[in-house]
Amino acid sequence: MTAMTIPNYISIFRIMIVPVFVIALLDFSESGAEISWWMAVIVFSAASISDGIDGYIARRFKQRSELGTFLDPMADKLLLVSGLVILSFSSAHLPKLPLWMIGMVFGRDLFLLLGFFIITYWCGKMKIQPHFLSKCATVFQMFVVAWGVLGRKEQFGLELDLFFWLCLLATVSTGITFLIYFPAGMSQLRAVPASSPSEDQSRQLLRMDIELKNSVAQSGKKISRKAKNYKSVN
pTM: 0.74
Closest to 95 in 3D by CA, of 140, 141, 148, 167: 148
Alpha-carbon distance values, 128 to 19, 124, 125, 180 (Å): 31, 12, 9, 10
Q: Which fold has domain 1-94?
A: Four Helix Bundle (Hemerythrin (Met), subunit A) (1.20.120)
More confident residue, 156 or 219: 219
More confident residue, 216 or 149: 149
- Residue 186 clears pLDDT 90, i.e. is over it: no
* Stretch among 92-101, 129-138, 185-194, 198-207 having the lowest mean pLDDT: 198-207
* Stretch among 41-45, 83-87, 183-187 having the lowest mean pLDDT: 183-187
Between helix 66-87 and helix 99-123 the angle, nearest 10°, is 150
pLDDT at 198: 54
pLDDT digits over 27-76, tens only?
999 998 999 999 999 999 999 999 989 989 988 888 888 888 889 989 99
- Residue 212 clears pLDDT 60, i.e. is over it: yes
Q: How confident is the model at residue 156 (pLDDT cuts 50, 70, 90)?
A: very low
Max distance between CA atoms of the chain, in angstroms, equals 106
pLDDT at 1: 52
Report how far residue 191's alpha carbon sits from residue 151's, in angstroms, rounded to the nearest whole number: 47
- Residue 24 clears pLDDT 90, i.e. is over it: yes
Report how far residue 197's alpha carbon sits from residue 208's, in angstroms, rounded to the nearest whole number: 14
Q: Cβ(29)–Cβ(93) under 8 Å?
A: yes
pLDDT at 195: 47
Q: How confident is the model at residue 26 (pLDDT cuts 50, 70, 90)?
A: very high
Q: What share of the chain is helix, strand, coil (3-state, %, to 5)?
A: 80, 0, 20
Average pLDDT, the chain: 82
pLDDT at 155: 42
DSSP symbol at 154: G
Q: How confident is the model at residue 153 (pLDDT cuts 50, 70, 90)?
A: very low
pLDDT at 185: 85
* Stretch among 33-37, 44-48, 122-126, 225-229 having the lowest mean pLDDT: 225-229
- Residue 14 clears pLDDT 90, i.e. is over it: yes
